[in-house]
Amino acid sequence: MKKKTEKQIQEEIRRRVLKHDEAIRQKQELEIDREANREALADMTSLSRQNVDQIAKQVRDEFAKKKSRKKKFIIFGAIILFVVIRSMFFSDPDDSNKSRPELKQARNINFVESFTDNNNKWPTGESYEFKRKFQDGRYLYTNGKQGYCSWDHIPVKLPSDYEIELTSTWIKGKYSEYGFMLISAVNKNSFHDFQINGDGSARVSMMANNKWMTPAVWIEDKAHQGDGKTTNIQRLKVKKGQYEYLVNDVSVDRGQFNKTESISYIAVRTCGVQTVAFDHLKILSVDDANWAETVMDESFDTPDAGWTPKNKLTTHRYFENDMFYYRTNKRNKCFFIGIDIPLSDNFEVQLKSIWKKGEQNDYGLVLAENFTEFLAFQLQNTGGAHYAWYSVDKYNKESELVKCGNPGDGEIANIHRVRVEKKHFKYYVNDKLAASGPMPDMEIKKIGVRVCGRQTVAFDNLTVKSVH
C-alpha cells in the first residue's frame, strides 16, 4: 500500500473516531441536561420526581406522535401527487365511457379540542337555584329551577287595618308565579300567598303547616303579561280581618283572615325559571275615615330594611387559561354537558383533567347517546377511577374504584383514555387500566364532561380518532 493511501486511511479513521466521540459526548450532555432540568422542576414545584417524569413522557409521546403524523402526511401527499401525475399522462381516452364501482371509504374521525376558544359551542355561563341582588334601584330576583319557589322575608308589624302595595316587573324567563307573602309569627311554613303570573293571571293561596289548604284557582287576564318592561301593581286591603286582593286596581279575590292569626313577616317570592324586578313596596295604616299613615316605604335601593341579597349557585362553566372549567355546587348531584360528535364502532377518546378544589366526588369523560343514556368514565381526587353506565334515570352498572390516577392537588393533571374496539371498551387513566367491559347497546352521538357534587375541575386536550 502506498504511503499516500495509508495516510488518507489514518486521517479517515481519526475523523470518524472523533466524530463518534463527539456524538457520544453530546448524547451524554443532553441526558445530563434532561436529568438536571427534571430535578430542578421537581425542586421548584410541589410535584414529585415521579410526577415530573410522567409529564416528560407525555410530552415526548405527543411530540413523537406529531412527528409521525407529519411524516405520514408527507408520504400520503407524495402518493396523491404521483397518482394525479400518472392519471394526467397515462389516462385512457375512453375512460369516461367505462362504468366504475362505487368507492366506499372508511369513515375517519380526527377531532381535537384544545379549549383555546369556544368554536365548538360548549354550554357556558352560570345557573342558579336562585340569585337576588340590588341593581338600578330594584331588587332583582332570579329563580333558576322549574317547579321551585324561593323568597326573602323581613320582619313587619302590621296595624289592625292596612294596605300593602307591591310594584314589580317581569324581566325574562318562563312564565311562572311571583308576588308577596304574609308569614305567620308562629310557623314560617304557614302563610298567605298573593301571586301574579308572567302570563297575566293572578290568584290567592294559603299554606298551613307546610300544606296547601284550598285549591288556588288562577284567574286569567288580571295582570299585564310579562314583556320585560311593563309593571304590575298588587294591592291588598285589609279591614277588620276582611281582605280584598287587587291587581292593577282590578279585584281578584276577597276573603277572611283568621282572627287569632298573627303576621310577623312579609316576603317577596319568585317561582320557576324567571327573573323579576321588585320595584317598590309600600305599607299603609288606614283608619275608619280611610286616613292613611305610612308604615313602610321600601324602594329597594339598599338592604337596610333587612333584605338579604345572595345566590345559590348550581353550576358555572367558563373558559380560562386555555382550559374549560366546570364548577358544580350541589351535594350528591351530577352535571353533564356535551357536544355532538357521532362516533363509529371503533374509536379512541382522550381527555386531560385537573382537579382544582372542592369535595371528593366523581368527574371525567362521558360518551352518550343522549342525556339519559350514557357511559361515564370517572376519577376522584383521591386517584381512584371507575366507570358507570347510566340508563333511563338509573345506574345499570358501576365498577369498583381502582387507584391509578394522581391525587388532586389543584395542579397535577390526569389523562383519561377510552378505547372502543369490536363492541368492547378499555378505560385507562395515565395509561393504567382502570376498567374494561362490553359496550352497551347504544349509539354514541355525544362526547362530554361530567362533574358531581361540589367541586371545580378544569378540562383540556380532548381528542377523538378512529381506530382501524
The boundaries of the domain holding residue 217 are 138-300
Domain identity same for 116 and 148: no
Domain identity same for 376 and 333: yes
Domain identity same for 203 and 337: no
Whether the predicted model's global pTM rises above the 0.85 cut: no
Q: Residue 3: inside a domain, yes or no?
A: no
pLDDT at 105: 36
Domain identity same for 156 and 63: no
Q: Structurally, how many domains does the chain consist of? A: 3
Q: Residue 128: inside a domain, yes or no?
A: no
Q: Residue 5: inside a domain, yes or no?
A: no
Q: Phi/psi of residue 147, each to 5°?
A: 75, 10
pLDDT one-digit tens code per residue, 457-466: 999 999 999 9
Q: Residue 104: inside a domain, yes or no?
A: no
Domain identity same for 275 and 341: no
Q: Residue 155: inside a domain, yes or no?
A: yes
Q: Residue 172: inside a domain, yes or no?
A: yes
Low-confidence ranges of the chain (pLDDT < 70): 1-4, 7, 18-54, 56-57, 59-108, 393
Contacts of 440 (CB under 8 A, 6+ apart): 375, 389, 391, 396
pLDDT one-digit tens code per residue, 328-372: 999 989 999 999 999 878 999 999 999 999 999 999 999 999 988
Q: Residue 309: inside a domain, yes or no?
A: no
Domain identity same for 177 and 264: yes
Q: Would you state the cell numbers that stand for residue 258, as one nine-digit string? A: 283568621
Domain identity same for 409 and 435: yes
**Where does a domain end: 300, 334, 368?**
300
Q: Residue 307: inside a domain, yes or no?
A: no
Domain identity same for 202 and 347: no
First to last CA, the chain: 60
